[in-house]
Amino acid sequence: MSRAVRAAVAALVVSLSAHVAAANSLRDVAAARGFFVGAAVDSTALAKESKYRTTLGREFNVCVGENAFKFENIHPAPGMYAFGPADSIVTFAETKGMRVRGHTLVWYQQLPAWVRNGSFTRDEAIALLREHITTVVSHFRGKIWAWDVVNEAVADDGSGLRTTSFWYQKIGADYVDLAFQIAHEVDPDAKLYYNDYGAEGDGAKSDAVFELVRGLQQRGVPIDGVGWQMHVRSGFRITDAHRANADRIAALGLRLTVTELDVRVVLPATAEKLAVQAESYRDIIAFCAAHPAFDAVLTWGFTDKHSWIPRFFKGEGAALPFDAKYKRKPAYKAMKTELARALNRRP
Ligand code: G3I
């Protein structure tokens, strides 16, 4: 074989294997069926690590900023907006043909001190809410598929809205309605979601979230969907309660997205534990990819190198589908296999 032929064959092998790898990515499996699979993005890792960028762009067709869009980061001082890190995520997504979810416009956490400690009348707090949502949503108008407009507004005991929230205390219960109305006025094409945790199955909190979104709809407030965060422990399984809850939300005409999936294990993460974890991933994907109300599933990060879990849950971690060296874990394989299988079962 001449040198030129050898080179041509080598080039063909490289391009064929690249094609096979691409065809086997999570995003290719999802996109073939009009579904979205995504991950939360750490804007610092995105800027610094090429492996991070390669994996993110190869595997996912939707992403969300893990922290970059939050109030304290994007609006750090009165009248001052810092869009750089969030813009970098949107630009990356555009170059890779990915959609973007915006997280989050209104939350009681990650508010800067000037907001938390400021003294605001109700009217001033409404003006702040309006200015913040208007500025942020118009900056990204046309670039954000879906906004988590309001995050974690419901109390954990399911008694109703979280009364300790800055927004509840300054404005009252109607801050939720206002937030959705303002976001819709500014970008009528963006899908607007209510996002929460611990409200996926049955129980008082799930009922309270359901009542909240049903109330929004009854009052004519523009809401398109509900985000199920799904920060769960290894061994987790979808039950009839999850199915019933998804069905009643879908019956309202609302969409669903798994917005922040991770499955934490007790460290050290042995092969046995990662196999158990993979079955939880499989079960969740099997459910949401087959359910017609779900548009997307996003994990909260994608590599164990960058995950909030070890910082917040002592002794737990390894919660994501790639390990800290960007190697595919059993969870990744379970996700991919199950995505293909479940999407084929979609009506
Ligand atoms: O950016 C600072 C850095 O300058 C400083 O040196 C460092 C020291 O601790 O802190 C850094 O900020 C941290 C930030 O994450 C970025 O890493 C904050 O302390 C830390 O509180 C913050 O945690 C985030 C958390 O929300 C805040 O409650 C997590 O990364 C983020 O994953 C987590 O995400 C939330 C969703 O928004 C809503 N649902 C639950 C989910 C998990 O808590």
Q: Is 67 in the pocket of ligand 1 (CB under 6 A)?
A: yes
Which of the residues in the chain have pLDDT under 70? 1-23
Residue 196 CA to residue 198 CA, distance in Å, equals: 7
Q: Whose C-alpha lies nearest to ligand 1, atom 30? A: 308
Residue 80 buriedness (CB in 10 A; 0-12 / 13-18 / 19+): exposed
Question: How far, in Å, is the centroid of ligand 1 from the Cα of 322?
Answer: 20
Phi, psi at residue 142, to the nearest 5°? 85, -10
Q: Is the peptide bond before 104 cis (omega within 30 degrees of 0)?
A: yes
Q: How many CB atoms lie within 10 A of CB 189?
A: 9
Q: Whose C-alpha lies nearest to ligand 1, atom 35? A: 66
Residue by residue, DSSP assigns 87-118 as HHHHHHHHHTT-EEEEEEEE-SSS--HHHHTS
Q: Which pLDDT score is estimated for 9?
A: 52
Q: Which pLDDT score is estimated for 3?
A: 58
Amino acid found at 89:
I
> Which residues, in sequence order, are CB contacts of 202 under 8 Å at separation 6+?
241, 244, 245
Q: Whose C-alpha lies nearest to ligand 1, atom 26? A: 67
Q: Across-strand partners of 154?
A: 161
Of 110, 162, 229, the residue with max ligand 1 atoms within 8 A of its CB, to mutate for a pocket test, comes to 110
Q: Is 308 in the pocket of ligand 1 (CB under 6 A)?
A: yes
Q: Which pLDDT score is estimated for 13?
A: 44
Instruction: Look up 316 and say whether it is catalytic.
Output: no
Residue 73 CA to residue 70 CA, distance in Å, equals: 6
The CATH code belonging to domain 26-60+230-234+254-347 is 3.20.20.80
Q: Is 63 helix (H, G, I), strand (E, B) or coil?
A: strand
End-to-end C-alpha distance for the chain, whole angstroms: 52
Question: How far, in Å, is the centroid of ligand 1 from the Cα of 345?
Answer: 37
Residue 317 CA to residue 308 CA, distance in Å, equals: 9
Question: How far, in Å, is the centroid of ligand 1 from the Cα of 15?
Answer: 40
Q: Which of 66, 200, 260, 338 is catalytic?
A: 260
Question: How far, in Å, is the centroid of ligand 1 from the Cα of 109?
Answer: 10
Query: In CATH terms, is domain 61-224 a member of 3.40.50.300?
Result: no
Token duo for residue 120: 């605001």
Q: Is 295 in the pocket of ligand 1 (CB under 6 A)?
A: no
Q: Which of 152, 200, 211, 279 is catalytic?
A: 152
Q: Which pLDDT score is estimated for 344?
A: 86
**Cα dihedral 132/258/237/254 (nearest 10):** 100
- Model confidence, pTM: 0.93
Phi-psi region of 326 (alpha: psi -120 to 50; beta: other; left: phi over 0): left
Instruction: Look up 124 and say whether it is catalytic.
Output: no
- Closest ligand 1 atom number to CA of residue 301: 32
> Which residues, in sequence order, are CB contacts of 183 under 8 Å at separation 6+?
105, 133, 137, 147, 149, 190, 192, 222
Q: Is 196 in the pocket of ligand 1 (CB under 6 A)?
A: no
Question: How far, in Å, is the centroid of ligand 1 from the Cα of 253?
Answer: 33
Question: How far, in Å, is the centroid of ligand 1 from the Cα of 129?
Answer: 22
In the chain, which residue ranges form alpha helices assigned H by DSSP? 3-23, 26-31, 43-48, 50-59, 71-74, 84-95, 113-116, 122-139, 166-171, 175-186, 204-218, 240-251, 271-290, 309-312, 330-345
Residue ranges per domain, the chain? 26-60+230-234+254-347, 61-224
Q: Is 44 in the pocket of ligand 1 (CB under 6 A)?
A: no
- Closest ligand 1 atom number to CA of residue 104: 37
Cβ contact 307:320 at 8 Å = yes
* Residue 192 exposure: Cα atoms within 13 Å on the Cβ side: 27
Q: Would the CATH topology of 26-60+230-234+254-347 be identical to that of 61-224? A: yes
Question: How far, in Å, is the centroid of ligand 1 from the Cα of 39?
Answer: 16
pLDDT in tens, 222-266: 999 999 999 999 999 999 999 999 999 999 999 999 999 999 999
Q: Is 43 in the pocket of ligand 1 (CB under 6 A)?
A: no
